Amino acid sequence: MPNFSIGVDLGGTNLRIAAVTEQGSLIEKVTLGTKTKLGRDQVLNDMCDAVRHISDKYKDSATLLGVGIGVPGIIDMQTGMMRESPNLPGWADYPVRAEIEKRLGAPVILENDANVAALGEKWLGAGRHVGDIAMLTLGTGVGGGIVLEGKIWHGMTGMAGEFGHMTVEPDGQQCGCGNRGCLEQYSSATAVMRMAREAIANGDAPGLAKAANSDIEFSAKEIYNLAIQGDDQAKRIFRRVGRALGISLATMINGLNLEMYVIGGGVSSAWEAFSPAIFEELRQRSMVYAATAPSDPLAMPSGASGQVEPGTGRKTIITRALLGSDAGLYGAARLPITR
Ligand SMILES: [Zn+2]
C-alpha cells in the first residue's frame, strides 16, 4: 500500500475522519457525533481514539504521513492555536495542535474548515484539472479559501480568504463581524431563512407562509423547493443570494484573475435558483470576467463542471463544488501530503 494520511473534519455537529492515500484514494471513512456539550477534552479524546484506531490498522503496511484537521475557526498558523471558535466553545487559546501531536505521536496540521474545503475541491473535485482556484462555502455562514499552486494561500496571519465578510450592501444588515452588509448576510442558509421570515412578515409571501406554518423543519432547502416550483417570493430570495454572490465574485475576479471560482456548502444545492443572477451581475460588474467569460457559462446542466476539461484554460469558470461535505475531509487529508 502507498503512503497515506488522515484527514479530520471537526465540525460543531459531526466529527468525520478519513484515511486517504497520497494519490487521493479513500481507504476508510468514519463519522461520529461531536460531543461539544461534554467539553473540549471529551471531543479531543474521541478524535484521537478514532485516528489511532484507523492508523493502527494500516501502519504495518504503509507510512502515515501525518494528520490534517479542519476546524471551524480562525487559526494562528504559527502557534497552532485557534483565535476564535464560536462553534467549539473552549477551544480558543488552547494549544490544540501541540496537544494532539503529543497524543498521537504524528505530525498534525490545523487549518480553517473553509480553507480545507477549497484544497479538497482543488485536489479531487471541481478544480482538479485547473490551476489556481478560490472557493466560497455557503453554509450557516459564508466561508472562503484560496488555493494557489496547489497550496492554501494564508496571507500574513492565516486570515486570508474571508470572503464572507466582503461588503455587498454598504448600509445593509448588521453582521456578527461588526460590519454591515456582508456577503454572509445575503448568501448563507441563515440569510435565506431571514429573508423568508421578512417576506412572510410583510404579508406578501403566501407560499412561504403556508410552508412555514405546516412544517416545523422549515429550512433553506424547503425555500429552494418552492423556488423550483415557481413561487415568486422564494425565487426572489434566491435571486438576492445570486446577486450578492455576483457582486462579490466580480470583485474577487477583478482582484485575483484566477482560473476557477467554486461555490460549495449546503446552499450550493440551490445552484439552479441562484446562478443565473450571478452571471447577470458578473457581466455588468467585472471587466476581467467580461474579457475571459466562457461563451455560455450556464450551458452545462449541472453547472460549469463539464467545461472543465484539461487545456481549456484562459476562461474564468464559475462552478459548483463536486465533493459535497467530503471536500473538507479530503482537503484535510491533503495537508500532510503537501506540507
Ligand atoms: Zn461580516
pLDDT score of 308 = 45
Ranges of beta strands (E only) in the chain are 4-10, 14-21, 26-33, 64-71, 74-76, 81-84, 108-112, 133-138, 142-148, 151-152, 260-264, 317-320
- Helices 271-285 and 220-228, interaxial angle, to 10°? 80
pLDDT score of 52 = 95
Backbone torsions φ then ψ of 259, nearest 5 degrees: -75, -35
pLDDT score of 305 = 43
How much distance in Å is there from the Cα of 162 to the middle of ligand 1? 9
CA atoms of 92 and 75, how far apart (whole Å): 9
How much distance in Å is there from the Cα of 163 to the middle of ligand 1? 9
Name all contacts of 159-165 with Cβ < 8 Å and 24+ positions apart: 159/74, 161/112, 161/114, 161/115, 161/118, 161/134, 163/134, 163/136, 163/248, 163/252, 164/136, 164/188
pLDDT score of 299 = 60
How much distance in Å is there from the Cα of 185 to the middle of ligand 1? 7
pLDDT score of 235 = 98
CA atoms of 199 and 214, how far apart (whole Å): 17
How much distance in Å is there from the Cα of 194 to the middle of ligand 1? 15
DSSP bridge partners of 42: none
Q: Which helix (H) or strand (E) holds 247?
A: helix 232-256
Which parts of the chain have pLDDT scores under 70? 299-313
The number of angstroms, rounded, from the C-alpha of 320 to the middle of its chain's C-alpha atoms is: 11
pLDDT score of 66 = 96
How much distance in Å is there from the Cα of 190 to the middle of ligand 1? 13
How much distance in Å is there from the Cα of 155 to the middle of ligand 1? 19
How much distance in Å is there from the Cα of 173 to the middle of ligand 1? 9
